[in-house]
Chain A
Amino acid sequence: MKKILATIVVFAGACAFLLAAVPGPAAPDTPGACSADNETAAGYILLREDVLTRPAVIFNHEKHVCALGERACADCHAKKADGSLVFKFPKNHPDTDDPDSLMQAWHDGCIGCHSERAQRKEPSGPRTCGQCHVKDRKSMAFRHMPVLPSYYEPLRDTYHGDCIACHSEPLRKAEHAPVLDWKKFHILRSTLPEPEQPPSGFDYQRHYKHTRTLEKDCGLCHYLSPEKRQAIEKEGKEPECRDWLLEPDPEGSWREQDYAHARCVNCHFARVTAGEEKAGPLMCSGCHTPEVRTPEQMQDVARPECEQKETILITSGDAAVMDAVPFDHAAHQLRTTSCQDCHHNGLQACRECHTPTGDEKGEHITLAQAYHREHAGRSCVGCHNRQKQKGECAGCHHQLPATLESKSACTACHSGSLEALQRKRAPAAPESLLPHDTKDSWHIEKLGTDYEKVDFKHLAMAKALAAVSEKSSLARYFHVDEMAVCASCHHYSPLEKGKPVPACRTCHDAQPTAAASRPDLMGAYHQQCLGCHQKMGGTEEKMPHTCEGCHAAR
């Protein structure tokens, strides 16, 4: 037999297991309906090979679970002495990367079971090579992808037709024409980088369901080291939320994928066996659902009960150079999908790892950086910047620099007292900010030969933007300056209540100039108006996206 150099990898993108989980809504409480024809990615495991004499096997996990029954996990997966399952295949996994032993183990596992079942005259699976290693379009498409850019795709059949039409009898056959070897026009998928792993989908709703069903027994999922537990008991206290660790694996030797499957599925399995009514899903697609829940969809879901006060004053704990920051923890809980959105490593305070000077425990990210990194996922500033690029906020903010450079940026957060959270600011009516001789609307003229002049409703627009700003609690808190809404269009200008602002043409030239760092007047208007309309995503009637929406054709 030919020596096969094969590396069998579970293909993360298509596989169902938790690390690559597409975060999604909570799994149904009852195990999902069995569907062998589940064509979604979850449910299939592609056994990918780099060099293999036969095509890859596209393994339908869901189909096997349906055929063997949901409780037959132990038919394929090993069971430990305590009855918990190890989610590796096959049972006698050689625990090596040697391709030959892996291949042998897989073949023994699959064909062995199929043969046994066939002998018992039970419905069984394939036992010959070509029945699993199917060489069809689907497996080929899994393995190879065309090298040509995707705009060739509509012409694919034409290419195939034209080339192959000539290279058939009586001319030189396609398989005898080396230049026409189709593999020369495709690349192996395995040479491409693995897709990035999406975050875990264990959100507030899933947590709430688990808390409710498991009657707040935190220890079933979270971990507390025996020493810490003793120390807490000595003080005569109950462990608090922040004492529990997310990671139950003291040595840190498990991968998150192994851990999640070993913990979650084993627990679900035990509950199913015990005949519990709410047992949790056993099928891949039960947890690995493609949808992602937003904080808005979980407004009614109870957040985990923690000992954290609703509002706190964050100080650096050191000789502070800035005033403390009042922080509304409860409000932030309502706008996140899970505690881990901010608390990425346990539930301690940030400064326990991120010290003011930075050290190894906090990966040398200082406390100031942990709060202020502009493009970090979890820092205050980073998250607020992302919020500003979403929905209606993006209309103005996509054009404004997302930096901490403005003068009011520091004091907006560092106000020093909790009272700032309570501040009730009566929003200024836009008409009260305008110079008294400003017209409510006017015409923008000089539009060349193709278009009529634009009817520009200045006051209505200012009012609409002020209303958008009032709608968002984040904007209400941070738009401290009463002219903040005006600054979205009148950028870079000095703004003062009741004072006229410089006209656009002050900075924007009438005609385009070579390599200008600012657009000319036409570009400025279009970028400002249309850019905002597009980002805000309003209707064509309210926020036109087309030329005629603002100015009629002549």
Chain B
Amino acid sequence: MTGAALLGQPWQARARRLNHAARQSLGVLVDTTLCVGCRACELACNEINVDLPIRPEGYFKDTSVFERRRRMDASAFTVVNRYQPEPSGAPVYVKFQCMHCLNAACVSACLVSALTRDATGAVVYDENKCIGCRYCMAACPFQVPAYEYTSVLTPRVRKCTFCFNTRLANGEIPACVAACPMRVMSFGLRDDLITLGRERIRKNPGRYVQHIYGEQEAGGTAWMYLTPVPFEQLDLPRLGYHPLPGYTEPIQHALFKWFLPPLGLFAALAGAMWYNKRKTKQSGNDIS
């Protein structure tokens, strides 16, 4: 079942089916307490996505990039940032990439179904369908999709692919997960990862915030985080647990349900016209 097939369905039914799909879908649990900021994931991402710019050797060894907070752009699908929650404490490194939401705002916002959520859990982008409206960029609560502003003729929206075509299709795990020497990321069925995350929290009280970020945020995401400090301190935005499309779709879908509201509007207008015309006729003051 793809996101496209789901798009036409009423919201509640769709949510139910998505929740069912979520249990089957894949995910990644990022344990930020383990990350040492080696940027091997950034390197692996750059290598597997061959259309990303080729970087000089040693580019991904440079730790001076941690001086500022970076964001994903058209040339990098994942970035690692360094945070210093306590001035004298240990730094915390956080890897950012597309969160692959279970009920993604970008998928809902896309006019042409260029973005779809695959049953594996990956939110996949089809550049052949994309018309470049960039609604997905406005919709994403994590500000992930980037745009190739430098490309004049064929600009694309760029974001992490979950290695959907390059590795998942061959039964391999995503490149960044495989490359991480510290095994910060665990890959598997999303349900199993939630169990794993809860177990880690339970076994190491005091080490983690007692919540898996992404388990419920924005209706749940495929990529989830365990952190040692409150999420806001690591630029993981505070979001409600309700899926974002759930706020807009009921209105939009109700407006055009069976095309009845528009028909009703036209009927009302026609009625008003007819009534006015009759009134004018009866009064006999035809000015034309």
Contact = CB atoms under 8 A, between A and B. Distances in A.
A530 B36 contact: yes
A517 interface: yes
B187 A515 contact: yes
Contacts of B29: 515
Nearest to A546: B38
Interface string B173-200: 1000110111100111100110110010
B182 A515 contact: no
A515 B173 contact: no
Interface in B70-107: 70-71, 81, 90
B183 A526 contact: yes
B148 interface: no
A153 B235 CA distance: 12
A-B complex: 5 closest residue pairs judged by Cβ atoms:
A523-B183, A515-B188, A151-B69, A514-B188, A515-B192
Interface string B139-153: 000000000000000
Contacts of B284: none
Nearest to B37: A545
Interface in B170-227: 173, 177-178, 180-183, 186-189, 192-193, 195-196, 199, 203-206
Interface of A: 149-151, 153-154, 374-375, 385, 401-402, 512, 514-517, 519-520, 522-524, 526-527, 530-531, 534-535, 545-547
Contact of A514 (B69, B70, B90, B192): B192
A512 B178 contact: yes
Contact of B177 (A401, A512, A530, A545): A512
B187 A545 contact: no
Nearest to B40: A547
11 contacts: A149-B69, A151-B69, A151-B70, A385-B206, A512-B187, A515-B189, A517-B196, A517-B199, A522-B183, A526-B181, A531-B182
B203 to A, nearest CB: 6
B6 interface: no
Contact of B36 (A374, A512, A534): A534
Nearest to B178: A512
A531 B34 contact: yes
A515 B183 CA distance: 11
B237 interface: yes
Given A523-B180, A526-B182, A545-B36, 10 more contacts: A149-B69, A150-B69, A514-B189, A515-B192, A515-B195, A516-B188, A520-B183, A531-B182, A535-B90, A547-B181
A546 B181 CA distance: 11
Contacts of B181: 522-523, 526, 530, 547
Contacts of A546: 38
Given A151-B70, A154-B68, A374-B205, A515 B235 contact: no
Contacts of B206: 375, 385, 402
B38 A547 contact: yes
A402 B235 CA distance: 29
Most buried by A among B177, B186, B196: B186
Nearest to B233: A150
Contacts of A402: 206
Contact of B183 (A151, A153, A154, A527): A527
Nearest to B199: A517
A514 B205 contact: no
A515 B34 contact: no
Given A149-B237, A150-B235, A374-B205, A515 B38 contact: no
- Per DSSP, chain B at the interface is loop
Given A401-B204, A534-B36, A515 B186 contact: yes
A510 to B, nearest CB: 13
Interface string B22-42: 000000010000101010000
B192 A512 contact: no
Given A150-B69, A526-B181, A514 B237 contact: no
Contact of B203 (A154, A401, A516): A401
Nearest to B63: A546
A151 B189 contact: no
Nearest to A547: B38
Interface residues of B, number: 32
A153 to B, nearest CB: 8
Contacts of A151: 68-71, 81, 235
A149 B71 CA distance: 11
Contacts of B235: 149-151
A512 B192 CA distance: 15
Nearest to B83: A150
Nearest to B234: A149
Nearest to A523: B183
Contacts of A515: 29, 186-189, 192-193, 195-196
A523 B188 CA distance: 16
Contacts of A149: 69, 235, 237
Interface in B1-46: 29, 34, 36, 38
A524 B34 CA distance: 11
A320 B36 CA distance: 48
Contacts of A523: 180-183
A547 B179 CA distance: 13
A515 B196 CA distance: 7
Contacts of A535: 90
Contact of B205 (A375, A516, A531): A375
B70 A516 contact: no
A535 B29 CA distance: 23
Contacts of A375: 205-206
A545 B183 CA distance: 16
Contacts of B237: 149
Contacts of A527: 34, 182-183
A374 B206 CA distance: 10
A214 to B, nearest CB: 34
Contacts of A385: 206
A534 B89 CA distance: 12
B182 A530 contact: yes
Nearest to A530: B36
A535 B70 CA distance: 26
A200 B239 CA distance: 36
Nearest to B206: A375
Contacts of B189: 514-515
A515 B188 CA distance: 5
Contacts of A530: 36, 181-182
A512 B183 CA distance: 9
A520 B36 CA distance: 17
Contacts of A522: 181, 183
A20 to B, nearest CB: 18
A523 B182 CA distance: 5
A291 to B, nearest CB: 12
A494 B153 CA distance: 66
A516 B186 contact: yes
A540 to B, nearest CB: 12
B187 to A, nearest CB: 6
B173 A512 contact: yes
A448 to B, nearest CB: 10
A520 B182 CA distance: 10
A150 B204 CA distance: 29
A519 B200 CA distance: 12
Nearest to A389: B206
